[in-house]
Amino acid sequence: ETGVTQTPRHLVMGMTNKKSLKCEQHLGHNAMYWYKQSAKKPLELMFVYSLEERVENNSVPSRFSPECPNSSHLFLHLHTLQPEDSALYLCASSQDEGGWDGYTFGSGTRLTVV
């Protein structure tokens, strides 16, 4: 375990479903991130939270909705997704916003939209 736990590991959902991805870290980090990883593409930053406040939203469609109730937990709420949203969704945390000590990634949730 890296210190960042993501659940579920795999998720298959229909385009009309609503589901949530969960991320948890107990590293005492102050920043948390959602990344999307698709084949043959760079890791795409979706959302950044620093001290529980959203500091960056990279023009992500509104069908993705993040929530950070406290510094240890991060959620990604999903609704009315499209097949092209199928990807590996990675959560990461870092001590500070800049991540100079490195990001700690979870193992990801493999999402398939059918």
Partner 1 sequence: QQQVKQSPQSLIVQKGGISIINCAYENTAFDYFPWYQQFPGKGPALLIAIRPDVSEKKEGRFTISFNKSAKQFSLHIMDSQPGDSATYFCAASLKSGYSTLTFGKGTMLLVSP
Q: Which residues sit at the interface with partner 1, rule CB under 8 A? A: 2, 4, 33, 40-43, 45, 48, 55-56, 90, 92, 97-100, 102-108
d(CA 75, CA 6): 10
Nearer to partner 1, 105 or 113 (CB): 105
Nearer to partner 1, 40 or 70 (CB): 40
Residues in the chain: 114
Nearer to partner 1, 15 or 55 (CB): 55
For the CB of residue 69, give the shortest distance to partner 1 in the complex, in Å: 22
For the CB of residue 34, give the shortest distance to partner 1 in the complex, in Å: 11
For the CB of residue 80, give the shortest distance to partner 1 in the complex, in Å: 27
- Return left, alpha or beta for 52; rule: phi > 0 is left, psi -120 to 50 is alpha, else beta: left
Q: Which positions ≥6 away from 7 have C-beta within 8 Å?
A: 21, 22, 109
d(CA 22, CA 109): 9
Nearer to partner 1, 47 or 71 (CB): 47
